[in-house]
Chains A and B, each alone.
Chain A
Amino acid sequence: MERRSLLKLMGATAAMAGVGLAPGRAAAADKVTIALIPGLTADGFYVTMHKGAEAAAKAVGAELLYQGAAEWNVSLQVPILDAIIAKKPAAILIAPNDKTQMIAPLKKAFDAGIAVVCVDTFIGSGVFQTGAGDADFPISYVASDNVLGGRIAARALAKAIGEKGKVYVSNVKPGVSTTDQREEGFKDEMKKYPNVTVLETQFNDDDANKAAAQVQAVIGRVPDLAGVFGANLFSAGGTANGVKQGGMVGKVKLAGFDAPESIVAQLKDGTFELTVAQHPAEIGYFGFMEAFAFVTGNPVPTAIGTGFSVMTKDNIDDPKVSKYLYKSS
């Protein structure tokens, strides 16, 4: 709680700095143009982030460029980045597709005098402006802490299963920084519960059909399975279906990650016990504001952490919680 309010304060300061100074240099020159390159376009998380950035752009009267690839792939993201660099925006917000492979391509933007802000994912160590290494040139990293997200899911799931029993993580594939971190946080936090056993992780290649079959197979072997943590949308959704097909709803508790609007019905009918929602709109909004503040000559923090909301059937109707559902409009 303490941490989150501090983060909010940081964010708010950044936002106020941006808003307050909007008429200054920005008004004298042309409109400030800032680009946002998502990790991939076809994902509710980034669609929502785009909406947040749009709201920020509107608030300060700046222009937002939005271009991305349909897939999570460095070789698709680099040409898009190059095309954006050619348009010479004042700043680029980007969710880099790889920690190391994106360093050189982003350095080109930096060398062209474009400010770089990492959103959601990062390059190098994710700690910027320290003078260490070759990847510390981005001005800031704006994201939710995925290790913490995994921990939050672990705590909530442990509570739901009475702090005892067998659980496992249904994950996409090894090597994706954000989902790896969620798994890491989840497993680490579960060590605090001596009566909870974490079984082998199952990788589903983002295929809901496979995630469903996997949970059924695990139940076949481990009939007393108590819970599953689905580390992303399709892992969670597929697992939920497998539990339903196996007639185990209520016996196997599910913790999901991410919050498309379809999650509401699934929380209410008991398919999901809970889901951990990130705040992508917040990432887009504060990422944009931070870049704007920087290019208009203001000091900015080198990291902004955005929060999480745990959604359950008991709180999902509360507008304070439901406003964090991922929306395209």
Chain B
Amino acid sequence: MSSNRFLTAAATLLALLPSAVAWAQQPDTGGPPAAPSSTAAPTDPAAPASSASAPNSNAPAPTTPASDQADRAQEEAEIAAELAKNQAASSPTGTPTPADSSSSSESTGASASSRGLSNLMNPAISAVGIVLGGASSRPEGTSVAPGDLQTGIFVQEVELRASAIVDPFFRADVALAGSSDHVAFEEAYLTTLDLPRLTLRAGQMHSAVGRHNLLHTHAFPFVTAPLPWRALMGEEGLTDPGVSADLLLPLPFYAEINAQVFQGDWAPLVGSIPDNPATAVDESVPDRRRNSDFAYVGHLKTLFDMSDATTLELGTSYVGGRNGFAGWSNLAAGDMTVKWRPVEAERYMGFDWTTEYVWDERGHAPTDHTRGGGYTAVRFQFAQQWWLQARGSVLGLPQGDSPRIWRGEGLAAFVPSEFSALRLQYGIEKAANDPSPLVHEVFAQAVFSVGPHPAHAY
């Protein structure tokens, strides 16, 4: 039954994809765009005032409306085909944005920033939304790790962020993140501005464990965090109230050390085990973590320039703390990233390859005493707005109490601008020594961000 439903949903999604791509590449056939100036071209009254004409247009109106429209349509189709062939452009022509006016402003003089003076002192406010929908053949009610994708349509996350310089000494960042069922402070922290070589931070923040744990959901390279990350560190990752000292080492290459202390209410450290109602024996173990049991995090990140276009980043992390079983938990992680961006075509091409591994050991834990997992992912940008990506991950390496689970994901992303993205991901998952069939998933995701232009992390 459920696999039938899955197939139908998957087929629908796949059928929609080509038309979405076609929509993105098709010329605007709605009629000739209206010119903004008084000497307008012949205009179909039904046509939206769309993305057309350049400023100071004095062009006389050519030929009759009907034949001109046909000419235009043909020329547009030809150009669209050439653009697609050139792989350099493919844009949402005729996107029905309500305020689609493109007359580039040529005006000089008078300041016309729409921001009033009073707004200058306000924090930079931005909002990010992620809508996710798709189908999974995973039987309902089963799950191998928190955050497994389930069939349906969701608001995966809405994030509201405010950032501002507090005074000459501090900057503050607040991010409120919510999904369909809960809202929480993802981040709220203070950062020092004025110390040489050193940044101190205090508040709720992502701990500096590897690379992926530092990412916000909307910056995830794939729809979800890697399987082993969700299984070992929980759906929210290692994020908690804490303090951090981030030190830039005085070396000829980039090397940063983060020394952090967190409250540490995290999956590798909590120790409660709920009773299994299926058995007669009471296996429940209460969490024996005390308020004074912190998590200590250390992280070293280095980056080397291999050439003008290529960098190699190597990082290593450690998390330690007394766990809820009254033992000591250790978590170690390593990461490696190679990035290539051709200097003269950074907008059009890029490649990166990231591999991360994480291992933990939970002292006194009755099950899953040691766990581990890793992933390797490649991302390839082949045109200004297009990315292809693949990731393979494994949970239970080198071993674990539970069976080893393999997962593969492929993703295609259409990124119309820096502020939006449409992504389609296909995933498969298989547990070793498990007779149940392969899990298949197809998910489509739309991401938007509004607000000030973001400064991108590398």
Partners in one complex: no
| Residues of chain A whose beta carbon lies under 8 Å from any beta carbon of chain B | none
